Amino acid sequence: MRHVDNDLPGVFFIDGPGETGKTFLYIALLAEIQSGVLIALATASSGAAANNMPGGRTAHSRFKIPLNLENNSMCNIKKQSGAAKLIRSAKIIIWDEASMAKRQAIEAVDRTFQDIIGVSLPFGGKIMVMGGDFRQVFPVIKRGTRAQIVDSSVRMSPLWSLTKKMRLTINMRALKDPWFSKILLRVGDGTELPIEGNYIRIPDDMTIQCNNRENAIKELIHAIFPSIEDNVYSSDYKISRAILSTKNDSVDEINNQMIEIFQGEEKVYYSFDEAEDDQRNFYPVEFLNLLNVSGLPPHKLHLKIGCPIILLRNIDPSHGLCNGTRLICKGFMRNVIDAEIAVGQHAGKRVFLPRIPLTLSEDDMFPFKLKRKQFPI
């Protein structure tokens, strides 16, 4: 706030694990600055994070960041455009989940700001408040080597060292999960006894005992979702817990067993698939239907009333429908799904999800371009 009041440039980074109050701090900053008739912009690397802040938009949408980034990329913002005028007028810019953004994206924003504002300071002298958690994974580089993945990290950017004198790191270490903090402290402090030198035995209170491998998933579901039959219509119950997996095949297997638990009639939606520019019909529809590609919904979508779903595309971010939004199915029609937003500032809002055409990104290594018309969930 001293930088805001005295019109000083500055780059700040809010570093802390999840659920430690970073978003609360962003909202407080936005409210304080906007109450003084000043402009504050809220952005995030993901639509779900942007949806948690008032007026939040994704960084790609706000700054027109190119999808295919290079080391000398610039954002697609013209000096005389409305977006450039808004950036020049903004007093402070908040960028949540900046640690998940690629280094080239942040450097492109830096170069664009300097060009638009005409100041050679980092980000054109704007007050930038970036936040995130460096304990999370690196930015995703498809089929990238370890060197390419590390090179894409924000910490490898020259900005990280150039802004050292201007940067304030706020370490929010108040871990609220007792079991998580317990294992982190025991590992970090070296008090957890290693096994065979490089391994650590996970404590019993953090594991689920399973004697029968065939029933492992059922026992996992029972442990994470106890008494799910009695809470099948409780949105808070379903969104307060989740099962994570490293592979999509495991996710599909768990989802199929979870769907069977829900009561009521099952609704199955089939996709309409085609390979664009396939004039000689090298790829028949039957083959395309068998493809289960990351980032696209399945050809055969099984749903029931009350089951939770996640949106895969930005449909209407200003009203809470963005990539990563969690919803609860409330009704099924032929070409729309009636759903209720379960989290965020739009929680409780009823929406209709349409069936839309979806395609893979250009960097997917397929000899054809798959186009799938399906509900983006």
Local confidence band at 171 (pLDDT 50, 70, 90 cut-offs): low
Residues 189 and 261 in one domain: no
Could you report the per-residue pLDDT of 187-246, keeping only the tens digit for each?
555 666 777 767 777 777 778 887 777 788 888 888 888 888 788 778 888 888 888 888
Could you report the per-residue pLDDT of 44-61, keeping only the tens digit for each?
988 878 878 888 888 988
pLDDT at 190: 61
Residues 149 and 31 in one domain: yes
Strand locations in the chain (E): 10-15, 40-44, 57-58, 92-96, 127-132, 167-171, 194-195, 199-200, 267-270, 272-276, 300-303, 308-310, 326-332, 336-341, 350-354, 356-359, 369-374
Q: Could you say which of 143, 171, 199 is where a domain stops? A: 171
Spell out the residues 6+ positions from residue 273 whose beta carbon is closer than 8 angstroms to its own: 285, 288, 289, 291, 299, 370, 371, 372, 373
Handedness of CA 158, 160, 165, 166 (dihedral sign): positive
Q: Please determine, for residue 27, whether its predicted confidence score (pLDDT) is greater than 80.
A: yes
Could you report the per-residue pLDDT of 127-168, keeping only the tens digit for each?
999 988 877 777 777 778 888 888 888 777 777 665 555 545
pLDDT at 175: 43
Q: What percent of the chain has pLDDT over 90?
A: 31
Please give the model's pTM, rounded to 2 decimal places: 0.72
Residues 91 and 232 in one domain: no
Mean pLDDT of the chain: 83
pLDDT at 339: 94
Which of 109-113, 200-204, 298-302 is predicted least confidently? 200-204
Residues 259 and 366 in one domain: yes
Residues 248 and 311 in one domain: yes
The letter for the amino acid at 49 is: A
Please tell me the total count of domains within the chain: 3
Residues 249 and 312 in one domain: yes
Could you report the per-residue pLDDT of 28-41, keeping only the tens digit for each?
999 999 998 899 99
Could you report the per-residue pLDDT of 249-274, keeping only the tens digit for each?
888 888 888 888 887 788 999 999 99
- Domain housing 68: 2-171
Residues 233 and 295 in one domain: yes
Residues 136 and 190 in one domain: no
Residues 297 and 153 in one domain: no
Residues 161 and 269 in one domain: no
Residues 227 and 255 in one domain: yes
**CATH code where residue 137 lies:** 3.40.50.300
Give the Cα separation of 191 and 182 in Å (integer): 11
Q: What percent of the chain has pLDDT over 70?
A: 90
Residues 218 and 110 in one domain: no
pLDDT at 149: 83
